[in-house]
Amino acid sequence: MQPITNHLPTAELQALDAAHHIHPFTTQSELAGKGARVITGARGVMLRDSEGQEILDAMAGLWCVNIGYGRDELAEAAARQMRELPYYNTFFQTTHVPAIALSAKLAELAPGNLNHVFYAGSGSEANDTNLRMVRTYWAERGKPEKQVVISRWNAYHGSSVGSGSLGGMKGMHAQGGLPIPGIEHVDQPNWWAEGGDMSPEEFGLERARQLEAKIDEIGEDRVAAFIAEPVQGAGGVIVAPDSYWPEVMRICRERDILFIADEVICGFGRTGEWFGSQTLDLTPDIMTIAKGLSSGYQPIGASIVSDAVAEVIGNCEFNHGYTYSGHPVACAVALENLRILEEEKIVDRVREDTGPYLRQKFEALTDHPMVGEAKIVGMMGSLALTPDKSARAPFAADAGTVGFMTRERCFANNLIMRHVGDRMIISPPLVISKTEIDTLIDRAWRSLDEGMAAVKEAGLWQAG
């Protein structure tokens, strides 16, 4: 990759960044002190920073660069579309070729009767759409009191007022008056942290049945929908016990509520099928998509909606839409991304070849003294850090202290791995090769070693 050499020196870039750029989910004053890492280019699974370092991106940006960085075909698709029709909207009975083609393609890829697409600019916007859509659906069906949406604690559904309320991140709810009314939460199926003495299977059933109890408490005639990620991503790659999802599906069907699968991370091959709902045998009425839809090359999200829901919504004027709903450049780039995923059989490779290889190597990280469990589905995985594996004990320090220390070691070893509390997570580009997987695992092991040494030195190697 050609390094960009004509930029300002790193220290000057960092000073300008600190002076004028407010970062998401960041304590700005702390970052200003140390300076942000400046990323200048990328190819495949590797990033390059302003100091010329090559960094293995085991998070695919924010879980989104499924086909890897640097694919010229997407740049060409964007340039072609910008020359032909850079923008037009899809309001007021108009449409354009990229939105038509992408909708037809998504209907073909999506399972079951999910055949209709409503576009947004992001996953957050798409979940805002879903909130209004399910409420409108029940109102149009003569049940306007069915308005409550049930979600899960520690879920992530976006950062807007609506989607942040749907999510179950307490730190987000603490700022800006969230959640808005009409949203309720049940506990997550995180056996490692919350399973106590129950077996994973018993615990999975207990957590699923919380949904049933919550519906009873609110009243079935007041509940519109349940929303969940097939595998919780930003919550720490939490994989539910096998008993969980069949029970949740039973409850949604028996109780006549809609099920929204938030596939923003799980979609487009991440779990080894096109959608997480296929891997986990879920039958959603609506799927939220974004991220891997364009591999992050353009901002675009959408709701893929069932025939039944689309028919009801289609009979009213749904007073909702975004200026960039179905943006032609974003749609053209997404289509090209889907073509590459399909023609290069990237999803099949994750399912049959590189995914199983990564699983084997990743699960072997439980041999490390600080790793209690490794969970992985396709190419999203997490490690639980613990000072006492058999007790599944947390550290005596505040949650996230050890995770952060370990992440800092990853950064120093040119590996982007994230921490959520004291879970370390990966979600690499789906095109990662076996050699690159070996590099990822080597760097992860070294970072765990160095992290553990730092934890011991700080006197934090104790169960809390």
Ligand X SMILES: *Cc1c(COP(=O)(O)O)cnc(C)c1O
Token pair for 451: 């992290």
DSSP 378: T
Of residues 272 and 372, the one with the C-beta less far from ligand X: 272
- What is the Cβ-side half-sphere exposure of residue 446, based on CA atoms within 13 angstroms? 13
The residues near 242 (Cβ < 8 Å, ≥ 6 apart) are: 200, 201, 204
Question: In this structure, which long-range contacts are made by residues 198-203, counting pairs with CB atoms below 8 Å and at least 24 apart in sequence?
Answer: 200/241, 200/242, 200/243, 201/241, 201/242, 201/243, 202/243, 203/241
User: Where does this chain touch ligand X (CB under 6 A) — which range of 257-265, 356-364, 407-415, 447-455?
Assistant: 257-265
- Residue 149 touches ligand X, criterion: CB under 6 A: no
Residues within window 125-144 making contact with ligand X, judged by CB under 6 A? 127
Cβ-count burial 437-457 (b if 16+ within 10 Å, e if not): bebbbebbbebbebbbeebee
Of residues 152 and 361, the one with the C-beta less far from ligand X: 152
- Residue 59 touches ligand X, criterion: CB under 6 A: no
Closest contact distance (angstroms) between CB of 464 and ligand X is 29
Q: Are 414 and 408 in contact (CB under 8 A)?
A: no
DSSP 384: E
- Residue 273 touches ligand X, criterion: CB under 6 A: no
Token pair for 26: 């960041």
Choosing from 233, 236, 296, 378, the residue that interacts with ligand X (CB under 6 A) is 233
How far apart (Å, rounded) are the C-alpha atoms in residues 362 and 351? 15
Cβ-count burial 35-68 (b if 16+ within 10 Å, e if not): eeeeebebebbbbbbbeeeebbbbbbbbbbbbbb
Choosing from 265, 282, 310, 405, the residue that interacts with ligand X (CB under 6 A) is 265
Residues within window 97-126 making contact with ligand X, judged by CB under 6 A? 122-124
Residues within window 293-322 making contact with ligand X, judged by CB under 6 A? 301
Choosing from 206, 229, 373, 422, the residue that interacts with ligand X (CB under 6 A) is 229
Closest contact distance (angstroms) between CB of 155 and ligand X is 8
Of 140, 232, 150, 138, nearest to 194 by C-alpha is 232
> Which residue sits closest to ligand X, CB atoms considered?
123
- Residue 379 touches ligand X, criterion: CB under 6 A: no
- Residue 157 touches ligand X, criterion: CB under 6 A: yes
Closest contact distance (angstroms) between CB of 258 and ligand X is 17
Choosing from 77, 234, 302, 437, the residue that interacts with ligand X (CB under 6 A) is 234
Choosing from 98, 158, 394, 428, the residue that interacts with ligand X (CB under 6 A) is 158
- Residue 290 touches ligand X, criterion: CB under 6 A: yes
Neighbours of 340 (CB within 10 A): 18
Reported in sequence order, the residue ranges of 25-113 that DSSP labels E, i.e. its strands, are 39-43, 46-49, 54-57
Closest contact distance (angstroms) between CB of 143 and ligand X is 27
User: Where does this chain touch ligand X (CB under 6 A) — which range of 7-15, 259-267, 279-287, 407-415?
Assistant: 259-267
Residue ranges in contact with ligand X by CB under 6 A: 122-124, 127, 156-158, 229, 233-234, 262, 264-265, 290, 301
